[in-house]
Structure 1
Amino acid sequence: MKSLFKAIRYLFRGFWHGLSVLRVVVGNLLFLALIVFLLSIFLHGSDQDLPDEAALVLSLRGDIVEQKTETMLSNRLFGEAAQEETLLKDVLDVIDYAAEDPRVKLLVLDLRHLGRAGISKLLDIGQALERFKSSGKSVYAFGDYFDQRRYFLAAHADEINMHPMGGVMLTGFGLYRNYFKGALEKLLIQFHVFRVGTYKSALEPILRDDMSDYAKDANLTWLNVLWGAYKTTVAQLRDLAPENIDDYINNGPAHLARAGGDDAQLALDLGLVDALKTRDEVREDLVRLVGENKDKKSFKQIEFNEYLAAVRPIFLRTRADSPKVGVIVAQGIILDGDQPTGRIGGDTLTDLVRQARLDDEIKALVLRIDSPGGNALASDIIRRELEITRQSGKPVIVSMGSVAASGGYWIASAADKIWAAPTTITGSIGIYSAFPTFEKSLDYLGIHNDGVGTTHLADAFDTARPLNPILAQSMEQTIKHSYHQFIQKVSEGRNMTPEEVEKIAQGRVWAGQTAKELGLVDAMGNLQDAIQSAAEMTDLKDYDVIYVKQPLTAREKMIRRLNRFLVAAVSSIKGQTVPRAVRMYEKFGVELEQVMQLNDPKGVYAYCLICDLN
């Protein structure tokens, strides 16, 4: 019997030893697999050989942005935050380089995976497509279906082909928000709001159950400018009258009835597209235009990302002894401290501006702003650094992207010259603060708050108690003072009297075209125009352009590559479907998340919540 137990003991001992060995082996294999995986990500996108002759497929994926957002896959249920992003600069560089590249015979617009893009960014890409066409080459567009963004770019093509089951969906621009006053009253939540400016409508959703007449008047004014630019551009490109675009939208049912309910045929009849073709017919078209590829399964082509990887080193090349125009990109909400790319950190952007000022090779600075604003204090810290840069003798030029409003304009007002697109959303010169208290909600539930403090302000920030009257009086005065500071800084930067600024301030939003007429902007143009302007201000004839960025460690570079790889993978898996939960989030939660990010130490904000029309 002893020998039997001994044998069993040896058997189990051998089993556990073998299991331990197996665990080590499997662990090592998984570790090696991870190393290979990370190396493949790190090496992904290296230079590739280009075909001698091909069509460049401009397959734009995800949102068009000034600066990529560096956050790991986040909490939006793999929705918007996991969306791929494409740099506007990369798109423009590729189109312009391809125009002079003899290997590129044709540009093909594949817009099926295009995400969000502001009208100003679409206009920039459209201008690049027109430059490509002026080189003598053609642009060919195809799609199963065109929404408003995709169609704007497709309209620049020499030929638009659409699937016979497709359609062109144009809607115009609108601004509709959810209003929570009634819900807050039912929940017995007290929201205390401090604001300055007749048109500072950012907080109307918690104060009203509808949009005020002031807000409707102001919003419709700039929406009409943007829509006018859209339909005028499309009408000119498609040889239509602008009013035909409005008629197509407003009288859609009648037009559809005449086309027998066929969306695609309607688009063809009205001249919105040139032909209705299936995918195989499109492929045959392109084979005829540029030839068949090696495996004879499609046309000779190179994708946007492959072409970008091959030619990017050319864009990054600078001469060691040449004078430089420095460019800093400031995209996103303005927050305190250090922030990742895709957000504007007061400390982060200030450090970059200082870096550019202390670099003797950089003779002028261009700040590209694409921001609805945010923290008032952070905005002023950045503005001061720009002022110091100007005082040092280096010109500071601001180039506005799709939006440069509220805190974004606070920063811009320090520049020697401000450039904007006619469709830039800007202005919104106003200040506000808001926070809730829940004493009535808690009282309804039978929860009561009581205690003692050493001063009259000891309970100032306790949301379980009514708003402290001393705090309320202090906040009211702080907001008024901050607003007058905002007015004064704009007055100084724009050579206007405070009274002149006050007339066009009060939180009102303006389109870039109107802002120029009002004196808030100096010139209409894109980033390249601003760079040229900076060079002229310093008498530079032969110069290079460099982008001033925070240096990344090797670890940060690998994390960035891993992040983009995972985002691309999730986007590929997700495809074009949007989960219902994400749609609900985008309808109700986006504004809440934006407000929750704000972190001004005094709770004072110069932030435009209505300025995002991407």
Structure 2
Amino acid sequence: MSRSVFSYVRGGLGRVWRFIDASRRAVMNLIFLVIVIALLYAIFGGGAKPLGDKTMLVLNLNGQLVEQAPGGAKLAALANLGEDNVRRYIQLRDVLRVLDNAARDPDIAGALLLVDEMEGGGPAMQREIAAAIDRFRAGGKRVVAWGSNYNQGQYQIAAHASEVYLHPMGTVILDGYGKYRTYYREALDKLGVTVNLLKVGNFKSAAEPLVANGPSPAAMEAEAYLNNDLWNRYLQDVEQARKLPSGTIARGIDNLPALMEQHGGNLARLAQGIKLVDGLKTRDEIRVLVLKHGVPDPENKSFRQVGFDEYLARLAPRLSGDAIGVVMAVGEIGDGIAAPGSIGGLSTSNLIRMAREDDNIKAIVLRVDSPGGSAFGSELIRRELELTRAAGKPVVVSMGNLAASGGYWISMASDEVIADASTITGSIGVFALFPTFDKVMDKLGIHSGGQPTTWLGDAGNPTRPMDPRFGQLLQSSINHVYAEFTTKAAQARKSTPEKIDAVAQGRVWTGAQAQDRGLVDTLGSFNDAVRSAARRAKLGADPRIVYIERETTRFDKLLDFFGAPQAVADLVDAAVARQVGSVLAPAGIPAGMAGHVVKELNWLNEMTAQKKPFMALTHCLCGVPE
């Protein structure tokens, strides 16, 4: 029987489909095979290309220097591989790890330090990096620092290099610590906003800008005492590093107008003249200079080098064995769950509990860089550390730039508190703010009314004047929280509440001042805290370190990776700018200053947005000195 035309067509289509299917499977199998081979090569035969002899480490700190990157270390690493306009974060731990490993690496001949685009940091973090540079140099390796300009923080790090160079059109800006604050009492009165401040502590001046037109004598006394100690320590550190006679920088600032005239208005020549820098060189001249310390790289027309990120990627973590768990407490303290880069009472407590229940974690180092926040959230964290010590695991606190108020509260349940001499700590005090807008409502002709069953009903309504009885309740609560604070501090410091109260009252201290007053045990670095924890846990001189961190959700990571949070921030900034332009600009206030005003006053708005009528705050409302 002859076959129909349709059967021929069907057979032909079948053969074509089988060919396509076989080709598809062959291609997919080939791709899979390539992936397997690549993985095997990476694991067993590949890896990073070995460094050549006399390689120079290029330590280009071009980003925001932070203790912990927002979103976690993994997301920060991805962001650092992205576009140039994506905000880049450089973690202190990574800088220290790179420098300490490079110091022991025989292939690393020296380092080129670039801090032009380094942002943020703070005195304590800068001192940590400077000490790491000193350790690097102690092995006989040279460090060349170069910058087109140096601000005060950048220069503190660069000053520890073997040689410091500046662009011929650059400058070194050293202007000391402390800024003028803006006070809003009269402006708020004109608007009809009443800010009810309830506090304990003569020096708890955090909220003064909202209730006064200038600083109180107590605030001025405390600020001067703090800033002078920070500045004297900075001068001593830099002058010793540069081998300058004591007082060189202070005299340079005092005589700056005359020195400018003497050097023809050339700031770079002035910096060289008072020996803040060793020479003036352009970037290409620095390349020639560094070639003398390393070897040429003809392919790249430069010197043989390895970058910060590339060298960091070469450092494989130790994955097994007993370890010290490091919990990062960075940012303001809230009650609940917070992503890395901020502190949640619940989330940080959970991390501490995870470390306590992990049999491989033998001790905990709590790294604190926080101005404080919620008293309740602070107590959640302190209690979890107390339980960790009761379980037999040592706890050592390492204070970074800030460990003030609530930041000090969470530091109290520890075997040892180690602070940098320039850490800002103390601020043992409590306050609450309760703003009311009844006068604004009257001006607008808006009124409220009702019949609650008790006087306490809706007592936290900001559209009505504060009931004196409600104010009495708030003050009683604040007094109680302060008593809890000082009592727990006294127990932790083996002192009495009366002695703690004498150095508390909301006053901030440097780490060195706090040690003199018995608020911290030791002055030292993060590495000192790790060594202390290792010694207490009997782990030896080189313990494995594990960072106990909460990763963000997949959705948050996706948004962060594509820049959504930054986009939202940009939209908010744009909205604020428009508001500033329409409201404050006609009054003659510069846009930059107006933006600062709006940002500070927005904090009041956030306070009123809380679900609770008020919150007891152990917060210094302070930042890293600039």
Same fold (TM over 0.5): yes
Deviations 1:240-269 (A, max 9, x none): 123111111222111111111111111111
The letter of the residue matching 1:64 is L
- Provide the residue aligned with 2:489 in structure 1: 490
Alignment of 1:506 onto 2:510: no
Aligned residue among 580, 599, 624 for 1:612: 624
How much has 1:521 moved relative to structure 2?
A: 0.2
Alignment of 1:143 onto 2:143: no
SS in 2 for 1:412: coil
The letter of the residue matching 2:384 is E
The letter of the residue matching 1:454 is T
Deviations 1:208-235 (A, max 9, x none): 1111111111111111121111110110
C-alpha separation between the residues in 1 aligned to 2:212 and 2:511? Answer: 29
Using the TM superposition, name which of 549-558 and 133-142 deviates more.
Answer: 549-558
C-alpha separation between the residues in 2 aligned to 1:424 and 1:600? Answer: 33
How much has 1:299 moved relative to structure 2?
A: 2.4
Alignment of 1:285 onto 2:284: no
- Provide the residue aligned with 1:544 in structure 2: 544
Aligned residue among 179, 188, 193 for 2:192: 188
Q: 1:405–1:426: 8 Å Cα contact kept in structure 2?
A: yes
How much has 1:196 moved relative to structure 2?
A: 0.6
C-alpha separation between the residues in 1 aligned to 2:361 and 2:550? Answer: 16
Using the TM superposition, name which of 53-62 and 346-355 deviates more.
Answer: 53-62
Alignment of 1:603 onto 2:612: no
Q: Larger RCO: Structure 1 or Structure 2 (Cα < 8 Å, ≥ 6 residues apart)?
A: 1
- Provide the residue aligned with 2:98 in structure 1: 94
> Identity of paired residues, percent?
40
How much has 1:48 moved relative to structure 2?
A: 4.4
C-alpha separation between the residues in 2 aligned to 1:338 and 1:236? Answer: 44
Aligned residue among 116, 127, 134 for 2:138: 134
User: Compared with structure 1, are the counterparts of its residues 559 and 188 closer, same or farther at alpha carbon in structure 2 (3 Å cutoff)?
Assistant: closer
C-alpha separation between the residues in 1 aligned to 2:140 and 2:307? Answer: 21
- Provide the residue aligned with 1:330 in structure 2: 329
The letter of the residue matching 1:524 is L
Alignment of 1:588 onto 2:600: no
User: Compared with structure 1, are the counterparts of its residues 93 and 63 closer, same or farther at alpha carbon in structure 2 (3 Å cutoff)?
Assistant: same
SS in 2 for 1:229: helix
How much has 1:85 moved relative to structure 2?
A: 1.5
- Provide the residue aligned with 2:127 in structure 1: 123
C-alpha separation between the residues in 1 aligned to 2:293 and 2:461? Answer: 70
How much has 1:520 moved relative to structure 2?
A: 0.4
Using the TM superposition, name which of 284-293 and 424-433 deviates more.
Answer: 284-293
Question: Given the two structures, how large is their TM-score scaled by the length of structure 1?
Answer: 0.84
How much has 1:167 moved relative to structure 2?
A: 1.3
Q: 2:195–2:433: 8 Å Cα contact kept in structure 1?
A: yes
- Provide the residue aligned with 1:384 in structure 2: 383
Aligned residue among 205, 212, 215 for 1:208: 212
C-alpha separation between the residues in 2 aligned to 1:175 and 1:47? Answer: 50
C-alpha separation between the residues in 2 aligned to 1:177 and 1:608? Answer: 14
The letter of the residue matching 1:324 is A
Q: 1:335–1:600: 8 Å Cα contact kept in structure 2?
A: no
Aligned residue among 158, 162, 166 for 1:162: 166
The letter of the residue matching 1:190 is T
How much has 1:415 moved relative to structure 2?
A: 1.1
Using the TM superposition, name which of 98-107 and 50-59 deviates more.
Answer: 50-59
- Provide the residue aligned with 2:56 in structure 1: 55
How much has 1:597 moved relative to structure 2?
A: 5.9
- Provide the residue aligned with 1:469 in structure 2: 468
Question: Given the two structures, how large is their TM-score scaled by the length of structure 2?
Answer: 0.83
SS in 1 for 2:247: helix
SS in 1 for 2:513: helix
- Provide the residue aligned with 1:171 in structure 2: 175
How much has 1:103 moved relative to structure 2?
A: 2.2
C-alpha separation between the residues in 2 aligned to 1:234 and 1:415? Answer: 33
How much has 1:591 moved relative to structure 2?
A: 4.0
- Provide the residue aligned with 1:68 in structure 2: 69
Deviations 1:296-322 (A, max 9, x none): 5322222211211222x2xx2133xx3
Using the TM superposition, name which of 85-94 and 391-400 deviates more.
Answer: 391-400
User: Compared with structure 1, are the counterparts of its residues 291 and 585 closer, same or farther at alpha carbon in structure 2 (3 Å cutoff)?
Assistant: farther
The letter of the residue matching 1:275 is G
Paired residues in the alignment total: 547
User: Compared with structure 1, are the counterparts of its residues 564 and 188 closer, same or farther at alpha carbon in structure 2 (3 Å cutoff)?
Assistant: closer
SS in 2 for 1:290: coil
C-alpha separation between the residues in 1 aligned to 2:411 and 2:232? Answer: 26
C-alpha separation between the residues in 2 aligned to 1:496 and 1:335? Answer: 29
Q: 1:439–1:465: 8 Å Cα contact kept in structure 2?
A: yes
Aligned residue among 243, 246, 262 for 2:266: 262
- Provide the residue aligned with 2:35 in structure 1: none
Structure 1 stretches of 5 or more lacking a match? 1-42, 74-80, 571-579
